[in-house]
Structure 1
């Protein structure tokens, strides 16, 4: 099976799955910013900057708060890489899907935490989820894409539009058709996350969990339609 532009179809690299994952990441950023201490937990640039700035101001307590999410992010990368080791992948049978299930399980734990649990703990757990996702899902078709950080995606999408319009590159046009909807889904997720968090508070995380569950359902649906993904 191939997509419209001739790219071999894989559920893990499909636009519809990446849109769901990116929307969930935008949702989680809004959730942690509005409902969990004003932090962006899915990307670590802010944590590294604040660590440096607050250390420079000798605010050691505040600076050290940013260390656990960074460590959790690194651990998440290691876990995702371990899942992809040949011997582990064989045991799991479907390693990419296993990574998505791991994300879902961690978010379920977040959703079950009682009200009043430390926002710092939640930030650590969501940082872990984000790093597993970044490491496990990094492509749309044959093009790279980051489901939790938009800067590089915007650059690539802008370059694709330039290549399509100015250089008349067919491949660039195909890339642009993939990247821009996925980028927009991050903003949609953030908007949805903002609205839902205001009304549901801590329990808003269940919506992000639901988005990932829909993503898991896509794998199962594609299995029924065409065998394995």
Structure 2
């Protein structure tokens, strides 16, 4: 890759380019776990909480237990991310490398491994990502859940289109891009999960590897 092109593609922790790649991975992993791993949302704990409550209130209440381990793994991921932040300066590349290694390993696990182990691993990866990469410039966002991003985009659109505020327009475009790439990741994850099965996880791992290679410390 020419040096000038590499410099142009460098990813900083809070850049839009980093955000859309991570949002794509977030959507991809949700589709992957839902299709291949017992219909569990490994990255969206709101969905798991709802499914837990619905199943707990149904005649087949024993099925609610499958939504608990990913929830606990998510909490563990946040704690590990905070530990890495405390011990490493900077810590962003270390988090990305850990994400990549876990996703890569998941693809090598035999089919005899219980689905719960896989969903817990991906929930752990998701929480690492959420706890570490949560800024687009000075704006907070989420790379694995769209509700907050959708609200922010809608709020920014009002000032952008009715008040013609340039900063709000940039904000609207940025969050619209995050949402669209999340949807694109979900569509792509659905396609590859249905065609490649468990091995589809390696595509998400490959995207994270790209972020490791292109990572740049600058926050501008």
Aligned position for 1:200: 196
* Residues 31 and 205, structure 1, Cα contact 8 Å, conserved in 2: yes
1:77–1:135 CA contact under 8 A, matched in 2: yes
Partner of 2:93: 97
Q: Does 1:66 align with 2:67?
A: yes
Residue aligning to 2:148 = 152
Q: In structure 1, what is the Cα distance between the partners aligned to 2:148 and 2:38?
A: 26
Q: Identify the residue that residue 40 of structure 2 maps to in structure 1.
A: 39
Deviations 1:139-186, CA, capped at 9 Å, x for gaps: 111111100000110110111111111122221111112111111000
Return the alpha-carbon distance in structure 1 between the equivalents of residues 117 and 167 of structure 2.
43
Name the stretch that deviates more: 109-118 or 53-62: 53-62
Tell me if structure 2 keeps the 8 A contact 1:17–1:218.
Answer: no
- Please give the residue correspondences for 1:75-224 in structure 2 after superposition, counting only pairs within 5 Å: 75-85=76-86, 88-89=87-88, 93-219=89-215, 222=216
Distance (Å, rounded) in 1 between the aligned partners of 2:100 and 2:135: 20
TM-score normalised according to structure 2 size: 0.90
Residue ranges of structure 2 left out of the alignment (5+ in a row): 1-9
Alignment deviations for residues 45-79 of structure 1 (CA, whole Å, 9 cap, x no partner): 12111222222236443112211111000011111
Q: Distance in 2 between matches of 1:42 and 1:191?
A: 16
RMSD (Å), alpha carbons: 1.9
Between the aligned partners of 1:104 and 1:156, the Cα distance in structure 2 is 29
SS for the counterpart of 2:185 is helix
Report which stretch shifted further, 204-213 or 44-53.
44-53
CA distance in structure 1 between the aligned counterparts of 2:157 and 2:67, rounded to whole angstroms: 37
Corresponding pairs, count? 211
Could you say what secondary structure the match of 1:66 adopts? helix
Normalising by structure 1, we get a TM-score of 0.86
User: What is the CA distance between 1:116 and its match in structure 2?
Assistant: 3.0
Moved over 6 A (4+): none
Residue 13 of structure 2 is matched in structure 1 by 12
Give a deviation string over 1:62-105, Cα, whole Å, max 9, x none: 112211111000011111111112xx02xxx4301111111111
